[in-house]
Each structure stands twice: as C-alpha cells, then as structure tokens.
Structure 1
Amino acid sequence: MVRIISLTDAGKILGERLHAAIDDSEHWHKPKPFSASVQDAFCLGERLILICATGIAVRTLAPVLQDKHSDPAVLVLDELGQFVIPLLSGHEGGANDWAAEVADILGARLVMTTAKPYLKPVYSVGMGCERGCPADHLAELLSNCLAQAGLEMAQIQDINSIDIKADEAGLITLSQHLDKPFNTYDAAALNTVDELLSTRSDYVFSVVGVNGVAESAALYAAQQITGETAELVLVKQKTARATCAIARSYPASPHA
C-alpha cells in the first residue's frame, strides 16, 4: 500500500494526481491527528509519499524510526511536484528507485542524497544450507529472495558461501544451472564484514566460526568485486534447510 499525504490545497491537487497514477494507493488530505495518522501508516509498513516540508516529515517520523533494514520507503515532495526526495530507506527499502519512478510520472527533478546513485551497483548472493540440501530447494529460496529485493537473476554476479560448503552439491548444481560463479571464503575473510551484519548467531559462530554465513558471504563477495564497502539489500531469509541474503556494492566513483 502507498499512502499519499498532503497538507495544503496545492498539495491536495498533486496528491490526487499521484493517487490516479499509482496503483494500490490512497490519498489522505490533512489527516487528523496528523502525526499519529502518519506514524500508524508507517508502522504498518506502508510506503509513504509526504507532500510537505522535509522538516515536518522528519519530526513526524522520528519517534517511530527503527532501522534501514525494516523501515518502509518514504518520499517527500514539494506541493507543486517539482522535486522528489527519497527520505528514508533509499537503498534497502527501494526509495531511490521508487523516487525515480515518481519523478518520471510528474516530470519532476529527482533529488538524490545517498552515496553514488549514478553508479551501477554489483549484487552478490550469499547462501548457507544444511548438508545435502537439494538444488531445487535452494533455487526456490533464491527466487523468493530476488522477488523480495525487486531484482532479477541477470543482475546477480555470483553465489557465495563459506569454504566448508565448497563441495556442497546443491549449491554447486544451482550455480551451474544459473551460470553464475560459485565462490567460497574462509571464516577469517568473512569475519572482516561482521560489523555489517543485520543479525548475529552465537550458534552459527560456534559451528563455523562466523556470525552468519549468508550475509557475510554476500557482503564479502560484493566488496571483492568493487573494492568498496558493501551493504545488505536483503537481510538473511531462511527456510528450515537454508539461508539466503543479497548484498550490493558500488564501484569507486571515477571522479573521486
């Protein structure tokens, strides 16, 4: 659900225009109580388009912010629809790409403040699994993860895991079927990205020496390709038999 919220008469006109152009959207004009209404929609995971001052948006949402991995995407627009700002969850929540779509609808200017938006990202998949997990189970998990992240298989560079999975038949078969490189890394390498993990498992660490196989492998692999810090675009997703995460890294700016 997309919740479009306006505060002024000009904003109302813009809100109705967006409501007509965006599927599964609803427009609220001057909802009362304003802060509680916006916060409730945000906490329900609804993507927000706020047609108001950026300061109003920040002060309203500040009390309910959690983290970039779980907060829904939020855009801020001026009442004339000249500028579109991805305010929250630019990368993880897809606000950057969504803002570009809204800007195209309106013929507006996209105001991007996150790092390196003009560079093509590299996406790497990290996977872990129990011994003997079949390739079709892994394929279904990966497909679901790509759908959640809004990505296509063609955008994925490689599939990665920890070195004790170097001979895991299901992962090898999956990678061959998808024509993607399958890379594995030792615990020492994977632990270099530990601070970037969304969650840590003491149990996994006790077994394999890292706090999370899927996230660590995805992050480390993406960094190896670009030489730059990576970030999670999809935190660890799990089934009873396997885990999967997706990381992204941007190459260094040619102007740096």
Structure 2
Amino acid sequence: MIRIFALTDAGARLGERLKVLLLAKDSNASVSFELKPQPFAETIQGAFTHGERLILICATGIAVRTLTPVLLDKYRDPAVLVLDEQGQFVIPLLSGHEGGANEWGRQVSDLLNAQLVMTTAQPYLQPVYTVGMGCERGCSQEHLLDFLNQCLSQQGLTINDIVSINSIDIKADEQGLIDLAQSLGKSFQTYSAQILAAVNDQLINPSQYVYDTVGVYGVAESAALWSAQQATGNEAELLQAKLKTPKATCAIARAFPPGTGSIGEQD
C-alpha cells in the first residue's frame, strides 16, 4: 500500500498527479492520496506503523518530527519519500537500502522528471534484481504469480525489473515455478544446498526447521542472494527479506555490476 499525503493545495495537485502515474506504472498497486489529513501526526504515524510506504509532500523537518516517535529500525521501517510541492526533488528519507526507498525514489523521480536527492553512501545505479522463491510441492503458478507481484509491489518494483527467479535444486522440477518463469520470460535457476550455504551469514530470517528439511537455512533468501552475486560478480544484499504465504516464500536481492562499487549501508 502506498499512501501519499500533502499539506498544501499545490502539493495536492502533485499528489493527485503522482497517484495517477503510479497506477499507470503498476495497475496492481494500491495507492491513495489525502490532503491535510486530520489529525495529521496520528494519521501519518498510523500508516507508517502498519508498514505502508509513504510519500510526504511537505518540508523534510515536518516529516522527521512526525515520524521520529514511531521509528523502529532499518529492517522494519517502511520506505518514506519526501517531495517538495513543486515536484522538483525526491528525497528517500527512511529505509533507503533495506526498505527500498532509494530505488523507489529513483522510480518516482523518473516519473516526475525530478531530481533524486540521495543521502546514503551508495548511489544506486542500475542494480540487478533477482528473486528467490520456495514453495510446497504442487503450488500453482497462479498463486506464485500473485505472491511475486505483491512482493515486488512492496519494493516499488515490477516484473520488468527482475532478471531471474531462483530456488534450491530440489525444486528444479517444480512445475509451478517452471511455468511462472517461462510465462514471464525470466530464467529459472536452482542451486544445491552446499552452494547456497555460502551466503548463510547474510540471511535475515535463518530457519533451523528449513535447514533440517532441505539442508540450507533459507531457500528464498539464499537463492536470491546467490543469484544476484553470480549475475554481477559483486556482493549482493537482501532488498526484501523472506515473505511467506501458507504455500510459498519469496525474497528479493540486488547487486551492482562491476565498476559501480560495493554496497554501502547508511540508513
């Protein structure tokens, strides 16, 4: 869910325009706009604590003072962008790396033909995104597609942004995953537990149960990380930690091609 808030009439015009542009970019997205919500702080804080991504068309100081009481950490806080009411500048304010605000800010700035104001250590230029997925035997392509779209939408991404779908080798014959990748025109790659173990220390949600079952501490996160690393030759990071449905898991990783530098973390 994307919530857009503005405090002025000029900001309202920008908010309405941006809502239309975001929905045109992704028709499956859920986007709302509100002008001068009342009570202001409680409305913004409520949306934030529910994990909704925010676009605040207001002064940066107002945004900071409003959100400070409800901040947790970079792994749990949703992405927040701040825009000036003329739509000239887009500032990823919170969760730039882990929450995807940097990449989301780039996308929004492209939509508005605005200037992206990056304040974190690594300016993200053309990252490579990979998806890791696991599922129960016989999980349908339809379920996997709906779930994948939800995960991508949370990070401001679409199917066009990812390069591959990846899993563990015992899923190499999983028809739902095979059909999903083929229908989307993406490569489907699988790796052994021994290979995936190389990224154990980078997992956000390691699971002893998963290890006891398949020999690796996390299928979705491991496969996403390893494939991004192999695609670029550079260190990868998890953009979206493992999400789950009763039937499947999904994670998103990213890395940068050679020459763009290593990943910095300054959220």
Corresponding residue for 1:15? 11
Q: Is the 8 A contact 2:78 2:95 kept in 1?
A: yes
- Share of identical aligned residues, percent? 55
Counterpart of 1:90 in 2: which secondary structure?
A: coil
Aligned to 2:33: 25
Distance 2:131 2:240 in 1: 9
Identify the residue that residue 4 of structure 1 maps to in structure 2: 5
Which residue type is aligned with residue 209 of structure 1?
Answer: G
5+ residue gaps, structure 2: 20-31, 263-267
Q: Establish whether residue 130 from structure 1 lines up as the match of residue 136 from structure 2.
A: yes
Alignment match, 1:39: 45
Q: Quick one: distance in 2 between partners of 1:131 and 1:20?
A: 44
Structure 2 CA distance for partners of 1:27 and 1:187, relative to 1, 3 Å: same
| TM-score, normalised with respect to structure 1 | 0.75
- Give the gaps of 5 or more residues in structure 1: 7-11
Relative to structure 1, is the Cα distance of residues 2 and 177 closer, same or farther in structure 2, using a 3 angstrom cutoff?
closer
Q: Secondary structure at the match of 1:248?
A: strand
- In the TM superposition, residue 243 of structure 1 has moved relative to its aligned partner by 1.9
1:89-238 equivalence runs, <5 A: 89-91=95-97, 93-96=99-102, 98-100=104-106, 103=109, 108-114=114-120, 116-117=122-123, 119-238=125-244
Residue 58 of structure 1, CA deviation: 3.4
Give deviations 1:25-65, integer Å, cap 9, x for gaps. 11228x76x655543342242514152244x5435423312
Q: In the alignment, what sits opposite 2:265?
A: none
Task: Indicate conservation of the 8 Å contact 1:190/1:220, yes or no.
Answer: yes
User: Is it true that 1:74 corresponds to 2:75 in the alignment?
Assistant: no
Moved more, 146-155 or 117-126: 146-155
Q: Which residue of 2 aligns with 1:9?
A: none
Q: Show structure 1 runs of 4+ deviating over 6 A.
A: 104-107
State the one-letter code of the partner of 1:185.
Y
Query: Partners in 2 of 1:125 and 1:235 — Cα distance?
Result: 11
Q: Alpha carbons of 1:229 and 1:60: their partners in 2 closer, same or farther (altered >3 Å)?
A: farther
Are 1:49 and 2:71 matched, yes or no? no
Q: Which moved more, 1:198-207 or 1:18-27?
A: 18-27
Q: Report the 3-state secondary structure (helix = DSSP H, G, I; strand = E; otherwise coil) of the residue aligned with 2:190.
A: strand
TM-score (norm 2): 0.73
Distance of aligned partners of 1:111 and 1:140 in 2 relative to their CA distance in 1, 3 Å threshold: closer
Q: How many residues align?
A: 248
In angstroms, what is the RMSD of aligned CA positions? Answer: 3.5
Q: CA 1:186–1:26 in structure 2 vs 1: closer, same or farther (change >3 Å)?
A: same
Question: Would the aligned equivalents of 1:125 and 1:218 in 2 still touch at CA under 8 Å?
Answer: yes
